[in-house]
Chains A and B, each alone.
Chain A
């Protein structure tokens, strides 16, 4: 029989026992729906993570440190990298060099120092860090009260929530509900902070370098390394209070107050590395403790990292961590697929049941068809077509059902998220390949389920079948 004829006959037969076949088809669709729901949850969560991580800049950022600070990210790093003594210092020329590497979006120095801030004449000691303008899109600033810096040189500051609490003396007791960031921001936004800091200024010696080639060839370098440290004050306007911690990955060195990058650079604040490099610094150029290199695309992190390593620096990226994350998602995926498929397995049993019932019921019909010339293959194909039709119909219905369930759950959870003060999220994704896969999967499962009934129908003895009333 030809495929259109088969399909037509199969659909007609399905209509004949409408209730039973509908129930079976619904069974399949519930199975498919559960599969689609599970997988789209998995995909959605993965996309959510990827989005979050992309926004956080973790995936596209390489943290570059000089080998001179003696710390590798692992013992292996310490052994294999260039020897600390031969490693170059991280200064402005190096930063520019990195910025010109292929696939690099920007390279900015990490300026970070511990200093005293005065608010309403009370001193507070904390870590201050500089943020590049590109950090504006950082996830951590999403729920921020106030706004980002008006310009890269503005004398403005953004506070982390915990520092805002400290300024207001509102540190929440352990176990208590966290204070609402909006309440904290209200009295602080627009207020002024006074930052005291140690400025590194070129000393007089810098202006008159010693004559070259006297007793010691390194004399000149040594002379150039001298500079003065001057205590200074800078007024800062509080423009924002960030709810989340933009630097959670930095651990104990994470900052609580943020300044615009160019402003921070222009202040020439004394850096911890300045002391370490005092014997080596060839000029009054500041030396950075680390440089963050942002790559255009997370896929290029590895090549950029390699290029920087070749320059003789230590690097760290989240790439290794993301490998682990991918593994976790693969396992999660496998689990979701297995649990999602379970319902489909149950549905496939009901296909077998329905078709075996159909054989009993239509025994005579099968006998008639054989008597008037249907081959075993024709009968088999007809039952396959019926199973397959139920599979495809169930698959389509199931995808629609799964999609609806997903939307409803997504909607419900977003209501909950909003009630908890979180921004809404889209953690439900039904990509086209999943739709195609689910329908195909339902089709294949139903065909496999049809295997036994179709074979049984095909082998039916026509004489006995015709005798059957």
Chain B
């Protein structure tokens, strides 16, 4: 892993007075309203809040899926607001891996095809694509089902496949939007176990949006609470913080 952060103090994501306002007729909806935060490389951060608190919007801004109305998102020294659409797509392709509540696998494709799709956009050769997709599915324990379609799998299996897809380009950031929202608690734990594994073994910085505080407390090292688009609380989580980012930096080399 060459993408592992060099030190714990290295800032992976920084937002400064981040705002995202939508105009709905006459009224302006302030989905994100002046959020400033810093996330260190290798951290596992949970974004918490009730629905409509703006946590997903923050995640989309970090993912480069959306552009801020004002303020800035700086990811590894890139100011996302200043990137062109093309550069933003490259950023999503190479730097970010995403998983969603509804898995978002493409129904017409087999698992292997879904997983290797980012590699197609990256114009990786077919042979190498096959190997990487196999490896990624192996990692999430779905090697045997690589030729199945998403509809033939359980929710947990689908989310594991989505994780494999998010992993395939070896991104530094893993952004998860309610990854357990559609899963039963047992399967949810399983998935978050995998996410934690990626965080610890691969040194990926994880930002997870969730409204399940219990899960966040169990896995995240840090919890950021949002309400009405504003950051209201940002605290380290003693329970899960047993693995320090510093250890990760060297540990990820294995």
Contacts and interface: CB of A to CB of B under 8 A. Distances in A.
Which of A9, A372, A377 has the most chain B CB atoms inside 10 A of its CB?
Answer: A372
Given A370-B92, A372-B93, A1 B65 contact: no
Interface of B: 60, 63, 65-66, 85-86, 89-90, 92-94, 96-98, 100, 104-106, 108-109, 117-118, 120-123, 165-166, 169
Contact of A373 (B106, B109, B118): B118
Given A368-B104, A371-B104, A9 B65 contact: no
Which of B93, B105, B106, B166 has the most chain A CB atoms inside 10 A of its CB?
Answer: B106
A364 interface: yes
Contacts of B100: 371, 466
Given A1-B121, A2-B123, A9-B120, A371 B108 contact: no
Given A370-B92, A372-B165, A375-B86, A1 B108 contact: no
A454 to B, nearest CB: 15
Nearest to B57: A463
Contacts of B118: 372-373
A279 B108 CA distance: 99
A462 interface: yes
Nearest to A462: B65
A121 interface: no
A16 interface: yes
Contacts of B166: 372
B120 A371 contact: no
B85 A376 contact: yes
B86 A377 contact: yes
11 contacts: A1-B120, A2-B123, A365-B106, A367-B104, A372-B92, A372-B97, A372-B98, A373-B90, A373-B169, A375-B85, A461-B66
Nearest to A378: B121
A369 to B, nearest CB: 7
Interface SS of chain A: helix, strand, loop or mixed?
helix
A354 interface: no
Contacts of A378: 89, 121
A3 to B, nearest CB: 11
B92 A373 contact: yes
Given A364-B104, A371-B98, A463 B86 contact: no
A378 B117 CA distance: 12
Contacts, number: 73
B64 to A, nearest CB: 9
A376 B86 contact: yes
Interface in A242-300: none
Which of B92, B105, B166 has the most chain A CB atoms inside 10 A of its CB?
Answer: B92
A12 interface: yes
Interface string A418-460: 0000000000000000000000000000000000000000000
Interface in A204-247: none
A177 interface: no
Nearest to A12: B108
A374 interface: yes
B121 A368 contact: no
A369 B118 CA distance: 8
A13 interface: yes
A5 interface: yes
A376 B98 CA distance: 18
Interface string A1-42: 110010001001100100000000000000000000000000
A-B residue pairs, 8 tightest by C-beta? A373-B93, A375-B89, A462-B65, A368-B104, A373-B92, A16-B108, A372-B118, A5-B120
Contact of B65 (A16, A364, A376, A463): A463
A374 B104 CA distance: 14
A375 B90 contact: yes
A1 B123 contact: yes
Contacts of B89: 370, 373-376, 378
A375 B65 CA distance: 11
Nearest to B91: A373
Contacts of A374: 89, 93, 121
Given A373-B94, A374-B121, 8 more contacts: A369-B117, A370-B65, A372-B118, A373-B89, A375-B89, A378-B121, A461-B66, A466-B65
A107 B52 CA distance: 99
Interface in A363-419: 364-365, 367-378
A5 B98 CA distance: 22
